[in-house]
């Protein structure tokens, strides 16, 4: 869901229905923005079912599970760093974005701000330790909270984005909670929370020369969102893809134009790129980006058969298996991605997240699983929460 849909009441109640372990595992910051998905009697009933099964839907033993990777600041080239968040099997796909950092002679430029105080401060501290410098520029690759909610922790940085990203941030300001509450993994102490929108926008490509590093910011949306920006460093053949890239993590398509997203992946395949830093998942390259596009293509074939047979998106996603992609982190995103394909085909696609359609499809998905006595594949409340968090 996008931030503007975040109700204020979440400040107090966002962990309702989750066990302490689940809440700690996810980090409550990852839960902001999820209350709309928790509203409604159907979801209460789902929570009451108290189903425990992870991961969901079932993995496929014929295929490898994703690797595990660490949270680390990794130098990729002189003055160029990637900061990845830890992940791997049995971790939720919701949460925090990877970021990038380019060091100039007098300031650092950040690519994305992460999702909250703990992750943003850890990123800033790692950057300071590596370079001795502070951030003077920050680019938001798109408007999702796990990329922009950390903006406030870059108080001396000019913040840039595509105009759509700024517009979505402005819409979200009023509904942003006023405080960060202490939550493991998200906020160590209670502190003021505010969403700082980007102050500089560009809709054509923009090139920065930071020290000796050329950074081409390319507007590639609509893809993951209508405001996607990627950062291409031609000298080093490095691409910071933002959420145009999900590696070993099921792609989140709630604000996406999937066909155009695949087109963007195909276009990047023609760029002179060796290393791709995705928004989520471990560092990879063109092969991993092509794999993510393949996820959508496999789903498209399966979903289209059922769309043509007049099956609903919820019933379709309860049937569809994706082979090796069933093992990717965040398998429940199959539902939202099916909903999104359907919207593209029936002409209802907009830049906005259709929360009602995803909720309806998820409920139907669970009804099908319950009817087939496949209760182990019913999506429990914690997974519903994870699915609602934008990445
Ligand atoms: Zn995103």
**Which pairing describes strands 80-84 and 72-77: parallel, antiparallel, or unpaired?**
antiparallel
**Which pairing describes strands 135-139 and 158-161: parallel, antiparallel, or unpaired?**
parallel
Residue 278: its pLDDT value, please?
A: 97
pLDDT (tens, 9 = 90+) of the chain, 391 residues, equals: 333 333 333 323 232 232 332 333 333 223 223 322 332 333 334 333 333 334 466 778 888 888 888 889 999 999 999 999 888 886 664 468 999 999 999 999 999 999 999 999 999 999 999 999 999 999 999 999 999 999 999 999 999 999 999 999 999 998 899 999 998 888 999 999 999 999 999 999 999 999 899 999 999 999 999 999 999 999 999 999 999 999 999 999 999 999 999 999 999 999 999 999 999 999 999 999 999 999 999 999 999 999 999 999 999 999 999 999 999 988 889 999 999 999 999 999 999 988 889 889 999 999 998 888 887 778 765 565 555 555 4
The CA 261 to ligand 1 mean position distance, Å, reads 13
What is the rounded CA–CA span in Å between residue 243 and residue 341? 18
The CA 219 to ligand 1 mean position distance, Å, reads 15
pLDDT digits (tens, 9 = 90+) for 67-114: 888 889 999 999 999 999 888 886 664 468 999 999 999 999 999 999
Cβ-contact 368, 37 below 8 angstroms? no
Residue 60: its pLDDT value, please?
A: 82
The CA 20 to ligand 1 mean position distance, Å, reads 26
| φ and ψ of 267, to 5 deg | -65, -45
- Please give the model's pTM, rounded to 2 decimal places: 0.85
The CA 243 to ligand 1 mean position distance, Å, reads 5
Sheet containing strand 275-280, edge to edge, reads 206-210, 213-219, 229-233, 238-246, 275-280
For residue 189, count other CB atoms closer than 10 A to its CB.
9
The CA 145 to ligand 1 mean position distance, Å, reads 8
pLDDT digits (tens, 9 = 90+) for 328-358: 988 889 999 999 999 999 999 999 988 889 8
Which residue has tokens 């006595």? 373
The CA 57 to ligand 1 mean position distance, Å, reads 22
The CA 250 to ligand 1 mean position distance, Å, reads 12
Helix, strand, coil shares of the chain as percentages rounded to 5?
Answer: 40, 20, 40
Residue 388: its pLDDT value, please?
A: 55
The CA 390 to ligand 1 mean position distance, Å, reads 6
The CA 75 to ligand 1 mean position distance, Å, reads 24
The CA 333 to ligand 1 mean position distance, Å, reads 13
The CA 144 to ligand 1 mean position distance, Å, reads 5
In the numeric block, which tokens belong to residue 323? 């082979």
Residue 373: its pLDDT value, please?
A: 81
Q: Which residues of the chain form beta strands (DSSP E)? A: 72-77, 80-84, 99-103, 108-111, 135-139, 158-161, 179-180, 191-192, 200-201, 206-210, 213-219, 229-233, 238-246, 275-280
Residue 316: its pLDDT value, please?
A: 97
What is the rounded CA–CA span in Å between residue 218 and residue 221? 9
The CA 280 to ligand 1 mean position distance, Å, reads 9
Alpha carbon 380 to its chain centroid, in Å, reads: 20
The CA 160 to ligand 1 mean position distance, Å, reads 16
What is the rounded CA–CA span in Å between residue 338 and residue 387? 13
pLDDT digits (tens, 9 = 90+) for 264-276: 999 999 999 999 9
Q: Report all structural domains of the chain as residue ranges with CATH numbers, in order of start.
A: 3-63+297-388 (no CATH), 72-293 (3.60.15.10)
Vertex 300: Cα angle to 295 and 302 (nearest 5): 100
The CA 224 to ligand 1 mean position distance, Å, reads 7
């Amino acid at each position: 869901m996008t931030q503007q849909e975040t109700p204020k009441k979440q400040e107090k109640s966002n962990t309702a229905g989750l066990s302490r372990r689940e809440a700690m595992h996810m980090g409550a910051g990852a839960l902001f923005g999820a209350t709309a998905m928790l509203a409604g009697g159907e979801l209460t009933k789902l929570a009451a079912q108290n189903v425990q099964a992870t991961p969901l839907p079932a993995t496929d033993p014929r295929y490898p599970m994703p690797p595990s990777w660490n949270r680390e600041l990794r130098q990729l080239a002189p003055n160029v760093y990637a900061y990845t968040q830890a992940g791997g099997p049995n971790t939720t796909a919701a949460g925090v974005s990877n970021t990038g950092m380019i060091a100039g002679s007098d300031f650092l430029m950040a690519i994305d701000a992460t999702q909250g105080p703990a992750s943003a401060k850890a990123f800033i501290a790692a950057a300071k330790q590596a370079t001795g410098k502070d951030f003077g520029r920050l680019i938001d690759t798109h408007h999702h909270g796990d990329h922009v909610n950390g903006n406030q922790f870059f108080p001396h940085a000019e913040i840039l984005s595509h105009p759509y990203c700024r517009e979505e941030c402005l819409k979200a300001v009023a509904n942003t909670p006023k405080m960060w509450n202490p939550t493991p993994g998200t906020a160590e102490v209670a502190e003021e929370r505010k969403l700082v929108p980007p102050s500089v926008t560009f809709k054509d490509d923009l090139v920065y020369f930071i020290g000796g590093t050329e950074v081409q910011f390319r507007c590639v949306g609509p893809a993951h969102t209508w405001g996607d920006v990627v950062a291409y460093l031609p000298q080093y053949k490095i691409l910071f893809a933002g959420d145009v890239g999900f590696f070993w993590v099921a792609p989140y398509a709630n604000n996406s134009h999937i066909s155009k997203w695949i087109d963007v992946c195909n276009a990047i395949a023609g760029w002179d790129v060796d290393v791709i830093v995705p928004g989520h998942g471990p560092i990879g390259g063109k092969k991993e980006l092509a794999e993510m596009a393949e996820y959508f293509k496999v789903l498209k074939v399966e979903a289209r058969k059922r769309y043509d047979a007049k099956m609903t998106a919820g019933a379709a996603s309860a049937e569809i298996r994706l082979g090796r992609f069933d093992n990717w982190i965040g398998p429940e995103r199959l539902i939202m991605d099916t909903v999104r394909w359907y919207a593209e085909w029936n002409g209802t696609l907009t830049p906005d997240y259709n929360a009602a359609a995803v909720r309806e499809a998820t409920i139907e998905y669970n009804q099908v699983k319950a009817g087939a006595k496949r209760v182990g594949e019913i999506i429990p409340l914690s997974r519903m929460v994870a699915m609602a968090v934008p990445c």
